[in-house]
Amino acid sequence: MTASATSSGATGFSPTHVVPGGGLATWAVPDASVPSDPLDPLLPVRLLNRHGDWGQVLCSNGWSAWVDARLLVALPQRPPAAGGPLVRTADARKLLARVETAIERYRQAVEELAAGRMDGETFRATTRGLRIGAVVEGEAVWLYDAQRDHWCYCDGTAMTVFAPSSGPQSAPGPVPRSSAAEETRLDSPPSGPPPAPGG
């Protein structure tokens, strides 16, 4: 049975990531020899701890497990508290232009593929490495800055980084432990990253 959010939700649950479309394997501890129930596709989760490529996630029903954190899809978080001034960190127009260029590159590749002027292998090669993120809601816009690997929020006049993310890093030392009561206590030391997808 896959882990899902069908049971009563945890109080104050706020997801930080979503499980990718193909679902996600889990482990009871950060050890590839101790598998657990897989997570449903597109299930919202909260990343609690990171240890190298391992990540401990919490589901809305209070269940937690370890996953390959590299495969999680980061969610843009809410912008800074209402009423608080935004810090102008960059001109949003430059980032908007980069997002527009990336979208146009992807659109052109889709057009070529649909018209039969490009095969699937060339399409994958053409779009490899593209990462695009933009959500517009009225005056507010969330933009993913692929060059710096973080999300930005803009209200039309000022822009601020509000959901930074970072790539996998080595993390020597013991596995971090959770402090919340509903989170799983883990006592096993790490034994390496999860296997690569399909491996």
What token pair was written down for 49? 């701890």
Q: In which residue are the tokens 């899809």 written? A: 73
Q: Could you give the number of structural domains in the chain?
A: 2
Q: What is the pLDDT of residue 182?
A: 34
Q: CA-CA distance, 154 to 88, in Å (whole number)?
A: 9
- Specify whether the CB–CB gap between 3 and 25 falls below 8 A: no
* 72/188: higher pLDDT: 72
- Residues 19-34 pLDDT 10s: 888 889 999 988 888 8
Q: Within a domain: residue 174?
A: yes
Same domain assignment for residues 71 and 6: yes
- Residues 22-70 pLDDT 10s: 889 999 988 888 888 999 988 889 999 988 889 999 998 889 999 998 8
Is pLDDT above 60 for 190? no
- Residues 98-128 pLDDT 10s: 999 999 999 999 999 999 999 999 999 999 9
For 115-136, b/e burial (b = at least 16 CB within 10 A) is eeebeeeebeebeeeeebbeee
Is pLDDT above 80 for 89? no
pTM of the model: 0.43
What range does the domain containing 48 cover?
1-75+169-193
Same domain assignment for residues 62 and 19: yes
Same domain assignment for residues 173 and 109: no
CATH assignment at residue 43: 2.30.30
Classified as helix, coil or strand, 68 is strand
- Specify whether the CB–CB gap between 194 and 54 falls below 8 A: yes
**Cα distances (Å, whole numbers) of residue 148 to 108, 163, 165:** 24, 11, 9
Average pLDDT, the chain: 73
Is pLDDT above 60 for 188? no
Confidence tier at 9 by pLDDT (50, 70, 90):
very low
